Chain A
Amino acid sequence: AQTVTQSQPEMSVQEAETVTLSCTYDTSESDYYLFWYKQPPSRQMILVIRQEAYKQQNATENRFSVNFQKAAKSFSLKISDSQLGDAAMYFCAYRITQGGSEKLVFGKGTKLTVNP
């Protein structure tokens, strides 16, 4: 079964500095998608970044980038120049597609605090 593990329940970073959130996953598939979602206190889940496993190049979205290590089954999120608005819960997720259905499997999340 596919599982997603986020080993850091909480992280903190100073404003303008860089922080890395870790995520590992378990799968026997060779082609899959990984996601990082952000959930601010208002609770609306927002997509931060996605990575297709067949792409060797790491995805980037402005200040957000990933370090995708397929062999190690690792998918970490780097946030550069951290801003107060980055404070939120961050969830790593793996997409399962099978039998005409799809679903996301989430980790337990990392709570990120940004200190001014």
Chain B
Amino acid sequence: GAGVSQSPRYKVAKRGQDVALRCDPISGHVSLFWYQQALGQGPEFLTYFQNEAQLDKSGLPSDRFFAERPEGSVSTLKIQRTQQEDSAVYLCASSLRGPTWRETQYFGPGTRLLVL
């Protein structure tokens, strides 16, 4: 089947605007992850879902960041009142089962966000 898909691929926002980034995981994958990758850096963890439950949001940098996965499949990462420091590539990943199965995370192509 298809891999992880993300949309939009590119997003330009004016400072202060709200943005919503979408992730479609591999069909049937239980676990879903969001990462933020600043220019020239490795990805950094933002949040983790197991089905519709958000079990870990320790990496969200501020309360302007909000993620949801209401039906346990598609996920949306929302950033309110965007700031220039939010400019980055946002990567989504999914894996088939939960953490105890120790499975590989498969990544999407990312959404490049530029805040002007």
Contacts and interface: CB of A to CB of B under 8 A. Distances in A.
Interface string B87-115: 00101010000111010111111101000
B31 interface: yes
How many interface residues does chain A have, given as a range?
Answer: 20 to 34
Given A43-B89, A43-B109, A103 B48 contact: yes
A103 B104 contact: no
Contacts of B33: 103-104
Contacts of A100: 50, 55-56, 98-99
Given A50-B104, A100-B99, A91 B109 contact: no
Contacts of A28: none
A102 B31 contact: yes
Interface in B15-40: 31, 33, 35, 40
B87 to A, nearest CB: 15
17 contacts: A33-B102, A42-B109, A43-B110, A44-B3, A47-B104, A91-B43, A99-B55, A99-B56, A100-B50, A100-B56, A100-B99, A102-B31, A102-B99, A103-B56, A103-B59, A104-B105, A106-B43
